[in-house]
Amino acid sequence: MAQPIRKGWPHDDGYRPGRFTGWILPLAFLLLAEVCARLDIIPARLLPPPSELAQTLWSLAARGELLPHIWASLARVLAGFAIGSLLAIALGLLVGISRRAEALLEPSFQALRAIPSLAWIPLLLLWLGIDETPKIVLIAIGAFFPVYLNLVAGIRDIDYKLIEVGTSSGLGAPELIRHILLPAALPYLFTGLRGGLSLAWMFLVAAELIAATRGVGYLLSDGRESSRPDLVLAAILILALLGKLSDSLLRLLEQRNLRWRDAHRPSATKS
C-alpha cells in the first residue's frame, strides 16, 4: 500500500532528512579550512586551522576560564531575552487590540527600532553605570522588537469572526486574550521569539564591550587586542554553538505547542 505523502510547503516530494544531514556543511567547511591551512593556501595568521581552535578551547577549559565566560554570557542573554520578550508581549497585545495605543506608541517604536545597538552604549553607560544592568538592558532592547512586531502582526492577522464568536459568548477582555488572541497568534509569537533570541546573542557582543571582564564577547575583544585570531574564532564558534543550542530548544518548545498546525496540514495518498 502506498505511503501518504504530505503536501504543502516546503514541497519536498516526501523527502525526510537524516539525523546528521545538517552537519554535512559545517564539517565540510572545517575539513576544507584544515586542509587549506596545512597546505598554506590560506595563511594561519588569517584563518587558523580548526585543530588550533580546538587546542585554544581546550587550553581555556583546562585553565578553568572557559565555563565562567560561557555562564556569564548565558546569564546575560537569558535575563535580557526574558525582560525584552515579556515587555514585547505586553505592549504587543496592547497595540494589537487598541488603535489608540497603536497611534500613540507605534511611531516611537519604529523610530527606536532604527537605532543601531552600538549607539545605545554611551547613553546606557551614562544612565546605568558599568555594572551588569546596562548589558542586560541592551540585550533586552535587541530582543524586544522582533517579538513585538511579530506578535502585533499575528494579532492583526486573526480572523475577526473568531473575535465575534468570543465576544458573543460573553468572554471579557482577559479571557478573549487568553483563549483566542494568544493561541491564534502563537505561530507569529514563536517566530518573533526565535528572532529575538537570535538578536539577543548579537547584542550580547555589543553589551560585553561595556567594561566587561568576563563573557564570550570579552574573549572576542581580548583576542582582537592581543592579535590572536585563534581566540577570536574560538569565541565566534562558541557564540554559534550557544546560539544554535538555544534556538533548537526554543524550536522544540514551538513544535510541542504547535502540533495542531501539523495535524491540519492537507495530505494525500500517492498511488
Looking at residue 264, its pLDDT comes to 47
Q: Which three cell numbers stand for residue 184?
A: 491564534
DSSP state of 215: S
- Report helix angle 182-207 to 117-128, nearest 10: 80
Nearest Cα residue to 204 out of 219, 190, 191, 215: 215
Distance, in Å, from the CA atom of 156 to the CA atom of 176, rounded to the nearest integer, reads: 14
Looking at residue 196, its pLDDT comes to 95
With cell 585543530, the residue in question is 51
Q: Which three cell numbers stand for residue 122?
A: 554611551
Looking at residue 13, its pLDDT comes to 63
Q: Are 196 and 143 in contact (CB under 8 A)?
A: yes
Residue-level pLDDT, tens digit, the chain, 271 residues? 455 555 555 556 666 777 778 888 888 988 998 888 888 887 877 788 888 889 999 999 999 889 999 999 999 999 999 999 999 999 998 998 888 988 999 999 999 999 888 888 888 888 988 888 999 999 999 999 999 999 999 988 887 777 777 777 777 777 777 777 888 889 999 999 999 999 999 999 888 877 778 899 889 888 888 888 889 999 999 999 999 999 999 999 988 888 766 544 544 444 3
Query: What are 6's strand-pairing partners?
Result: 267
Output the pTM of the full model.
Answer: 0.84
Looking at residue 92, its pLDDT comes to 92
Q: Where are the alpha helices (DSSP H) in the chain?
A: 24-38, 50-62, 66-97, 99-113, 117-128, 132-156, 160-168, 173-176, 182-207, 216-225, 229-257, 259-263
Question: Given CA atoms 235, 241, 245, 251 in this order, what sign does their dihedral have?
Answer: positive
Q: Can you say how many angstroms the Cα of residue 226 is from the centroid of all Cα atoms in its chain?
A: 30
Q: Which three cell numbers stand for residue 27?
A: 564539517
Query: For residue 66, what are the CA distances in angstroms to 25, 72, 213?
Result: 26, 10, 13
268, containing H or E segment: strand 267-269
